Amino acid sequence: MNVHFIQHEIFEAPSAYLVWAEQRNYNITFSRVYKNESLPDTVENIDLLIVMGGPQSPETTQEECPHFNAEAEIAFIQKCIDAGKAVVGICLGSQLIGEAFGGKFEHSPEKEIGVFPIQLTENGLKDEKINHFGSILPVGHWHNDMPSLTPQSKVLANSEGCPRQIVAYTDLVYGFQCHMEFMQETIELLIAEELDFLNNNTIHKFVQKPDEIRNYDYTEMNNKLFQFLDKLTEELKLKN
């Protein structure tokens, strides 16, 4: 299994996604665009593409962020989808997937930072790759926006602050607005980026203080993510 990561910032690390791939001895490659690493020339040697988050949006220009080329990433995601690859996007990555399907990302009704529960929808409870999450699962959040919907997509989970937490675009393409990959080292990097805001926030009701975020045990959430990824790669093998 060949797993390729697109990583936009050092503090938006793949964390549990990378641990999962390493534990299974998969071949792992990276496009660390914050280091100006290029996207692959071809999708031929990719089975699973994982597109990480970032503070950018699909509308961010290269004038605003020179290392982020939204148009190129969307086109690359489209190539992977067209070639029958599995694709998972997290936060910004999920929004880029929606754009690749012709949708338009939107702002979330609420800013969410911390750990808050998601609820599986009826479609989520029917989806065999994620129904082991249970009807309610506390997960990580760090976002302002949310992915678009298309006529074929299905919302699998929502939260009190955001109606699109997990979206299935096809049997092999999933967008996660939430962050089930969070681990302690990742959390510290993210907190460092937002420390003043987290300490001083008095407006956003779904934004936790640093100690609340860092003291949460993410193990169960990570393990449920591993199960999803195992099921996704098994389906990919069956289709190929």
Residues that are catalytic: 91, 179, 181
Nearest alpha-carbon partner for 209 in 118, 116, 114, 144: 114
Tokens of 184: 């302690």
Q: Are 133 and 119 in contact (CB under 8 A)?
A: no
Q: Round to the nearest angstrom and report the end-to-end CA distance of the chain.
A: 12
Question: For residue 219, what is the DSSP state?
Answer: H
SS3 112: strand
**Sequence letter at residue 100:** A
Please give the Cα distance from 137 to 210 (Å, whole number): 21
Q: Are 177 and 147 in contact (CB under 8 A)?
A: yes
List of residues 6+ apart from 127 with CB closer than 8 A: 154, 156, 168
